[in-house]
A = this chain, B = another copy of it.
């Protein structure tokens, strides 16, 4: 049976930090990323893609703000903005990947889903919203929005001046249509799902599915998908070829092969950046602990050169690692 891999697309795979976010940039990045993944399809892998939406949903939120100011259009809530981004990015990825596959004469269907992800309303993350989203406001604007819409604000990051809305980032517990996604992927269809981490929803007291103002980490959502569909492998495509110890310092050290226990210890020691590498490592460990064979963190363009990439497996033995 062919292996099933879940691949989380983030960072350069979609949009580089120095880019404006035009559609041409996004299509070029996506096409380059997929060109580097062609070997996986040639090797017969079944694949499910998850993807980020940070810059895109940021722009959608800004456009909502601008539309209200200029044209008095009603603003859409965060859940609709995330769902919008699943549509736009999903279509763009599907089309670019189809064209790469056509070029290489690989016949696969690509199925792009709008996806809800279940969270727990009592997740402790809701006590401490930390994820900055949307535009930078002045103190006065922020205070007004707190009164008008109940939004919570924190000061913007060091590089910026002003206030930004913050929302919580709860744990993804499950995603809708998991069985269908697994079946479609195991039959050879490429599935794109949980875009932007998925649209977060919960079950309220009246047994209704309700959206909640939050964003889900896309690497955690992708790892949850990988567990749920019992994928053999999990890839996080990001902006660095490897995971490092003491990243960007004199004694920086490449980590190529990692086992579960050592990785957990590094993580406990705080060896990985809290806002960057640590959540990716947690996502990989979660996947391995739940039966995944191999998790890989690397750059999309390095993936096909197999000497690149940090490979995390349960037992540390580089000779056992199939790569």
Q: Which residues of A contact B (CB under 8 A)?
A: 20-23, 59-60, 62-67, 69-71, 73-74, 76-77, 79-81, 83-88, 90-92, 94-95, 98-99, 102-103, 109-114, 116, 135, 176-177, 180, 184, 189, 192, 195, 199, 201, 207-209, 211
Tell me the bound Cα distance from A23 to B84 in angstroms: 13
Kindly report how many copies of this chain are found in the complex they form together: 2
| A80: nearest chain-B partner, CB-CB | B88
Report whether B98 and A92 are in contact in the complex, using a CB–CB cutoff of 8 Å. Answer: no
B95 touches A91 (CB 8 A): no
Shortest Cβ distance from A104 into chain B, in angstroms?
Answer: 12
Shortest distance in angstroms between A165's beta carbon and chain B's nearest beta carbon?
Answer: 15
Q: Which of B77, B87, B111, B116 has a CB less than 8 Å from the CB of A180?
A: B111
Which B residues are in CB contact (< 8 Å) with A70?
65-66, 69-70
- B63 and A67 contact, CB distance less than 8 A: yes
> Residue of B at shortest CB range from A77?
B23
Tell me, in angstroms, the Cα distance from A88 to B88 when the chains sit together: 10
Whether A99 and B209, one on each chain, are in contact in the complex, defined by CB atoms closer than 8 angstroms, is yes
**Distance from A35 Cβ to chain B, minimum over Cβ atoms (Å):** 14
B residues in contact with A62, CB < 8 Å? 67, 71, 73
Among B65, B91, B184, B208, contact of A199 (Cβ-Cβ < 8 Å): B91
Q: Contact at B86–A91, with CB atoms within 8 Å?
A: yes
Nearest-CB distance from A255 to chain B (Å)?
37
8 A–B contact pairs at CB < 8 A?
A63-B73, A94-B116, A95-B116, A95-B201, A98-B209, A99-B208, A111-B180, A112-B114
Do A20 and B83 touch across chains, with their CB atoms under 8 A apart? Answer: no
A114 engages B102 (CB within 8 Å): no
B80–A23 touching, CB < 8 Å: yes
Question: Separation in Å of the A245 CB from the closest CB of chain B?
Answer: 38
On whether the beta carbons of A23 and B67 are closer than 8 Å, the reply is no
Contact of A92 among B22, B23, B83, B177 (CB under 8 A): B83
**A71 and B79 contacting across the interface, CB-CB below 8 Å:** no
Q: Is the CB of B208 within 8 A of A102?
A: yes
User: Which residues of B are found within 8 Å of A209, using beta-carbon distances?
Assistant: 95, 98-99, 102
Q: Are B102 and A207 in contact, CB atoms less than 8 angstroms apart?
A: yes
Question: Could you tell me the distance between the alpha carbons of A22 and B76 in the complex, rounded to whole angstroms?
Answer: 7
B contact residues around A63 at 8 Å (CB):
60, 63-64, 66-67, 73
